[in-house]
Amino acid sequence: MSPSIKNVPTPRIYMDNNATTPIHPRVADAVRPFLDGLFGNPSSLHFAGRDVKEPYETAREQIAAIIGAKVNDVVITSCGSEADNHAIKGIAYGAGKGHIITSAVEHPAVLTCCRYLETRGFPVTYLPVDGHGLVDPADVKDAIRKDTILISIMYANNETGTVMPIADIARVAREREIPFHSDMVQALGKIDVDVTALGVDLASFSGHKVYAPKGVGALYIREGLALDNLIHGGHQESGRRAGTENVIGIVAFGRACELAREEMNERRETVEGLRRRLLNGILERIDQVRLNGHPLQRVPNTLNLSFEFIESESLLLALDMKGVAVSSGSACSSGSTEPSHVLTAMGIPGPLCQSALRFSLGCENSPADVDYVLDILPGLVEKLREMSPFYKKTF
């Protein structure tokens, strides 16, 4: 092999943005002053505290603006999982007892929290979904009991990208005066989010899914809704969430939300075009591929595909060796040998669950990235399928 070919570097193409996103350069610029001279505690009354208090509250305003909320209804958390736990446990512990409704395809932060509450005497109904991963609002209505205290259904699924009929479900909850929580982590920055128009009472968000650093999130709590605190201690967040404020994280999250709001339409159009290019190219070049999730009712960046006769981990590693980062499911379930609970709930057979890959595109991706994947993927799939005793090549 000639030196010129041997020394060609392997590209680094990141297509796992539902797991986490890179920090936007303009977000990084926004937090640099807080890595140097602006170091104070926003709860302090002296100049060092005042220097950071204003940008901290400005960031809260930026988060509130992108979700259509009142500024004082936004509580800063450490992540989306904390926001989910605060919403669900806060309602449960405030009520003391009662029934909870959620879906079988929720993020582990919701499902594990609900399973924990079951051990504490709170009965939980896990609603089924259809073949596209959608919850039927009629099923929500039928599941409501006299003692139902909370309904929690996600807005956009992290594995398939399917978007739930949240407004319809919220209407059902409102008719029965039951608090409604939605995990909106995967919706923020990808589709329009207006908590007031959608009619939700509680909503969870995370910074590192929208080009901010890890370690910051937010919980929307509708004005007038009472729930117990998850973390007790000081008076921070108007007494709703104790702990010294993560100034760097919240300033970054606020700036990321401001950019997402300004660039929403452009980002959506660009990323959706790349997703279509990738899907169409794969279906043209590779046979026996299944699209998982709703074909239309979905966030613009997410593509979940089952490649028959292949173990997804093998294909993931093969792509990684070629410089392409994708996922075989939720990052929070990494290391689990069990098939995806989301795909299983959708009625997808086990072998197809085990052969599923998730491509989640982002602002940093380009048509050249997609074309590179389309160039290498067919060969990798064919090579792995040839190792399967069940594969028969179609012509």
If phi over 0 gives left and psi between -120 and 50 gives alpha, with beta otherwise, what is residue 30? Answer: alpha
Q: CA-CA distance, 164 to 297, in Å (whole number)?
A: 8
- Residue entry with tokens 């950019």: 259
What are the residue numbers of the active site? 332
Three-class secondary structure of residue 195 per DSSP: helix
Using the 8-state DSSP alphabet, how is residue 61 labeled? H
Q: CA-CA distance, 243 to 262, in Å (whole number)?
A: 31
**Integer distance in angstroms from the first to the last C-alpha of the chain?**
34
Residues in CB range of 183: below 8 A, 6 or more apart: 80, 84, 106, 107, 109, 110, 152, 154, 155, 203, 204
- Cα 191 to Cα 212, 297, 316: the distances in Å are 17, 11, 27
Cα dihedral 304, 307, 311, 315 in deg (nearest 10): -80
Bridge partners (DSSP) listed for residue 181: 152, 202
- Which segments of the chain does DSSP mark as H helices, in order? 3-6, 25-31, 47-67, 80-95, 108-118, 137-143, 166-175, 195-198, 247-285, 312-321, 341-345, 350-353, 367-385
**How are beta strands 124-127 and 148-152 bridged, if at all?**
unpaired
Distance of CA 260 to the CA centre of its chain: 15
- Which segments of 144-183 does DSSP mark as H helices, in order? 166-175
Residues 372, 279, 164: CA angle, nearest 5 degrees: 130
